[in-house]
Chain A
């Protein structure tokens, strides 16, 4: 049985206690909302997308340490990145969560850059029930990106 230390890594608890990019963005920023119907977690992702770049991102909502820290790390990882880079990152993250690619014709993954803090969430895979917690923010981000198109 995997131990709690595999799940609750120090960096995860740090992002949970001190979440990055909390808040809201006023329109015309995009607002996407995600729910985890199993546990009641809610998340809002606000995106400013200009010239194919996410120039700002804010996160709202409530949830467990895994969903909130994942959202916090995600916000830090995507801020200032191009939409293409972000879509690649979402695919890498979902890969790490052992979620199969939906699009068979997707371009090859660019895994040249390190995942950084996000690596800390790798242990979530050992707790399958919590994978949905970790991916909630990322699916909401995807929703926001498609709205901004």
Chain B
């Protein structure tokens, strides 16, 4: 059964806010999502009643806090259908998760001349860590190109993967909204003997995720894009791979023993969780996952395909060739993240004009400069929809855009 975004929106206190007497139209969820009352309350309640250190102390409160923290790990495991709970590593965010894999797995396994395959639609978080390895040890980076409608061009994939050690790719573009064929890409990586790393930062909050169905080796995502708090993210990895990897950050919690002449690592997942983790944030992320699961991830995906189709239809019907929407037009292969160019108005100016109507969109390169170059611009405006956005928000965007054309006399 589907849900009504207008009803969902009532759970989000911030979205009740008005600025200058007008409601906020929040269309920047690909950047970060708003938080429902259930998440805010869970975090407040935890800090008011159960907050204490985890994994360190013997008293009742500490045990309660540890249980709650580990409960969040269990919720993440179920959310992505990971086989084992110790494969779920909490990080700061998806960026840190990808850096962890590149630094730790890449550092241990990549040598000069080894190839890493990425795609032209990656976020900087899945480019720069590999560039850093390339600079450090002469790893070769190869790039899967795009088709003209912003999908991956897989015609040369076997050649690109030939001899590669890693294929790291996004499951959904943060700029184009494109959904990539994850299972097919994982299979291609494995056929070539490469490890398959999925950047799920955009995908996981908006679609049902099953790492076992994909057969992937690693998955990275963030809490703050799925209605949870910022400051916590997840790296999931196969136990055998994580076990064989050297630690990433050193410190408390990640050790079994420390001596004057060395140290030994703790078991998974503690091995990759040095220092006090984001405890309250894990509780918040758990509440966010519960919230999304109550809506049903299939329903979330269905809603977004619907709102994407409506928004694209509305904007094209109203502005025709004056608006260019990047990425696929078929809602079956895209999410509700729309990057667009409106007439000749610079995206930064578009966003400024939309702000007068409290329509919040991102303008810029979206941390995907190589993709921007491919699109032939150095910035786009991006409207991204989520569970609390209804057709009224798409209409508000379309209405507010008219002012941009008027102001610049276009």
Contacts and interface: CB of A to CB of B under 8 A. Distances in A.
Nearest to A38: B364
Interface of B: 19-20, 346-349, 352-353, 356, 363-365, 369, 372, 377-379, 407-409
Interface stretch (A39-47, A79-87, A95-103, A106-114): A39-47
In the A-B complex, list the 4 residue pairs whose CB atoms are closest, starting with the nearest.
Answer: A40-B365, A64-B348, A64-B346, A40-B378
Contacts of B348: 39, 41, 63-67, 130, 133
B352 A39 contact: no
Interface stretch (A1-9, A21-29, A52-60, A70-78): A1-9
Nearest to B378: A40
A62 B352 contact: no
Contacts of A38: 364
Contacts of A13: 408-409
B353 A39 contact: no
B352 A40 contact: no
Given A63-B346, A64-B347, A130 B365 contact: no
Nearest to A62: B378
Nearest to B344: A17
Nearest to A35: B378
B407 A8 contact: yes
Contacts of B379: 39-41, 64
Contacts of A130: 348, 352
A41 B349 contact: no
Given A4-B356, A41-B379, A64 B349 contact: yes
Interface in A89-131: 127, 130
A64 B353 CA distance: 12
A14 to B, nearest CB: 11
A41 B363 CA distance: 11
